[in-house]
Structure formats: structure tokens, C-alpha cells
Amino acid sequence: MSTSEYKHILRIAGKDIEGSKKIIIALSQIKGLGYNVSQVILQTLNINSSMRIGFLTEKEVSDIETAIKNPSLIGIPNWYLNRRKDSDTGSDKHLLTSDLDFTISNDIEREKTVYSWRGYRHMFGLRVRGQCTRTTGRKGGAVGVKKVVMRASAGTGGGGVEAKEANAPAAESASPGPAASSPKGNAEKSPETKE
């Protein structure tokens, strides 16, 4: 193909794609289309998947767009679609881009309003699909651990440890223990303890 037919940017299914990328990689960048679905679409349309997407003709681009919007028209089986047995209509669909995000958020809100178990898990931000949560998915700070903040004394320039050491001798002299009660030993007892 000549360079005049090469397009630097293509717009497929509402997404701008660089023309220098391979077709299969470029199609899998569209939200809702994976690598496997892209490969099946290209095989059924007889388009070389390793060709650069900028060299596609207008007819090939329109064929790809119609196949993406309704994959069942070109014979793709229903189990390839990402929205089977839709809760509202009961039909099989393949959703793309913002439609996919909107539908997922609607499903989550519906589960919250009917107070299903999945809805409760979504409300509290927990894992929904039955995973073990004892060790993984731990968000936020530590639970049950208290953080101790040491403050510096106004008179000293050091940290809280030095402030505690400066007050330690005063505390010992104020309340003497049994070993440091008297230099003479147990010869002299206070009048309270003589009885």
C-alpha cells in the first residue's frame, strides 16, 4: 500500500488509535474488547492481525466497527460476549467503553438496594467473590496498635527520653523504696512501723 493511504490516527468505537500499532493490539486497547475477542473478529473478517492498523481501508474499518457493535452478526458464539442474559432485557450483548462502566455500576447499585450479601460486601468495601481476607485486602492503618508520641520538655533541647531521665532522680527521692530507706539499715524505724 502507498503511504498516502496510511492514516496516523484512526477512530474505532469512540477511541483514537495510533496507526503504527498492530491491529490485534490496537483493538484490544478498546475497553470491553480483549485479545481473544479481537483475534476472533479479525479471523472471521479475514484481516491479517499482524498488519498495522493505519493501512486499513475504509470498508475494513466499517466492517470492524459493525462486528464490534454486534459480534453475533458475524457468527461469534454467545459465550464470547461479556453481557449474557442481561437482567433488564434478557438478551445477549457485548458492551464497550462507557456502556460497560455504566452497566457495572448499575449492577452494584441494584445489589446494594436489595441488600444482598454481595451488596453488603460492596457497601463496606470488602472482597465480594469469596476470597480469603485474613491476610490479603487489608486496607487502611493497623488495627489494635496504638501509636505513642513522645513530647520534648520545654527546658531540655532533646527528645522525650531525656525529659524522662531528668525527672527520674526527683521521683526516686520523693518515694524511697525499701532498699534505700535508711543508710543505717533497719535499726531506726519510723513511729508508724514500730507497732
Give the residues across from 11 on adjacent strands.
16
Mean pLDDT across the stretch 48-64? 87
Task: State the Cα angle at 68 between 64 and 73, rounded to 5°.
Answer: 90
Q: What pLDDT does residue 111 have?
A: 93
Q: Is the pLDDT of residue 142 over 90?
A: no
Whether 192 has a pLDDT exceeding 50, the answer reads yes
pLDDT, mean of residues 84-110: 85
- Label residue 177 by pLDDT band (50, 70, 90): low
| Rg, Å, the chain Cα set | 37
- Work out the average pLDDT over 2-29: 82
Q: Which CATH fold would you assign to the domain 3-80?
A: Helicase, Ruva Protein; domain 3 (1.10.8)
Residues of the chain with CATH 1.10.8.50: 3-80
Axis-axis angle for helices 35-44, 58-69 (nearest 10): 120
* Rounded distance between C-alpha atoms, residue 51 and residue 21, angstroms: 8
Answer yes or no: pTM beyond 0.85: no
Mean pLDDT across 56-84: 85
